[in-house]
Amino acid sequence: MPRQGLERTEDPMKAVFLTFSQTGNTRKLARALAGAFGDRGWDVESFSLDRARPRDVAGADMVAVGAPCFSSQAPSPVKRFLARLPDLSGVRALVFATSGGAPGRVLWDLSRPLARKGADVAGGFLCRGECFHPAPSITGRSPGRPDSRDLAEARDYALSLAAHVEEGRAGPAPGTRRDALFPDLGFYGLVALTSPDPILRLSLPRPRAMTERCDECGACVAACPTGSLAPGKGPVQGKGCIRCYRCVTLCPKEAFSVDWRMGDLLVRTLYNPRFERWFGDIKPGEPVHEKREI
């Protein structure tokens, strides 16, 4: 039976937002989307995915999962969390992501496990996010994104998605991204398929701790999404590193170094703005502010 979100005579519908965000871009997007559901009278609960438990989705009419794109896919800690979710039969799903110009399979990586658990995918949204990857060829791209325009678009989309779900309409809401419903079979889809974590560890450089700079504040240990940094003076990298470089970019003492001589060549080749325009998500005329274009 359709449920009208604005009717006060019955329990409000409930949305549970689970967001993984390292540098805040996806969290901004989550707030804009969740705010729109709240404004339509939904009961909204939001969790940071690294602190969430699978049972937090209990009682939800809609589960919304958001993540940044890493290496044209969803970060593996997010995929692992989704695999542990309980049965979602009868639940609607929204997936959302932020990325540079090459999202590849990120939305599909989020929607597929939810659909496998029985959820009906109602929505998919993606917008650009400023890139804090330390590789010299891509760091600083898309500055300030998501910006107020991105967030206004997200809000409009969420309002119409909420109405779609309230009316009891099955399937995706109008405006849902195609790559949330079908896998990307293009160039960046292939990059994602050929870049599981062991390959990333082989092809991208390892962050190295400089013990003389480390003051053992523990920020990197707490932020490592795979828990693969052991505490101590100059934390030691374990085997689970997914090359997200969060330890490098957040360390207040700049106590990690990365030798980008080879890795940057690979990044620049795969993620150059020209390829991202041809095979990725960058729209004609959309500024990238890359440091150099090949």
**Contacting residues toward ligand FMN, per CB under 6 A:** 21-26, 68-72, 98-103, 129-133, 244-245
Report, in Å, the least distance between residue 167 CB and ligand FMN.
31
Report, in Å, the least distance between residue 27 CB and ligand FMN.
6
Which of 221/223 has CB closer to ligand FMN? 223
For the chain, the 3-state helix, strand and coil shares in percent, each to the nearest 5, are: 35, 15, 50
Q: Which residue is nearest to ligand FMN (CB)?
A: 129
Give how far the C-alpha of residue 147 lies from the chain's centroid of Cα atoms, to the nearest Å.
Answer: 16
Q: What would you measure as the largest C-alpha separation in the chain, in angstroms? A: 64
Report, in Å, the least distance between residue 276 CB and ligand FMN.
7
Which of 159/266 has CB closer to ligand FMN? 266
Whole-number Å distance between alpha carbons of 274 and 272? 5
Report, in Å, the least distance between residue 24 CB and ligand FMN.
5
Q: Which of 286, 291, 263 is nearest to 101 (CA)?
A: 286
Whole-number Å distance between alpha carbons of 64 and 57? 10
Report, in Å, the least distance between residue 7 CB and ligand FMN.
34
Residues 6 or more apart whose CB falls under 8 angstroms from that of 162 comprise 5, 36, 37, 40, 42
Which of 103/263 has CB closer to ligand FMN? 103
User: Residue 244 corresponds to which tokens in the numbers above?
Assistant: 């997200």
Which of 173/270 has CB closer to ligand FMN? 270
Which of 25/176 has CB closer to ligand FMN? 25
Token pair 């620049």 in the structure block, residue: 268
ω before 231 within 30° of 0 (cis)? no
Report, in Å, the least distance between residue 162 CB and ligand FMN.
23
SS3 at position 92: strand
Report, in Å, the least distance between residue 21 CB and ligand FMN.
3
Report, in Å, the least distance between residue 154 CB and ligand FMN.
13
Which of 24/41 has CB closer to ligand FMN? 24
Burial of 35 (0-12, 13-18, 19+ CB in 10 A): middle
Length of the chain: 294
User: Residue 132 corresponds to which tokens in the numbers above?
Assistant: 């804090």
Query: DSSP for 218-248?
Result: -HHHHH-TT--EE-SSSPEE-TT--S--HHH
Contact between residue 169 and residue 5 where contact means Cβ atoms under 8 Å apart: no
Which of 100/123 has CB closer to ligand FMN? 100
Which of 6/199 has CB closer to ligand FMN? 199
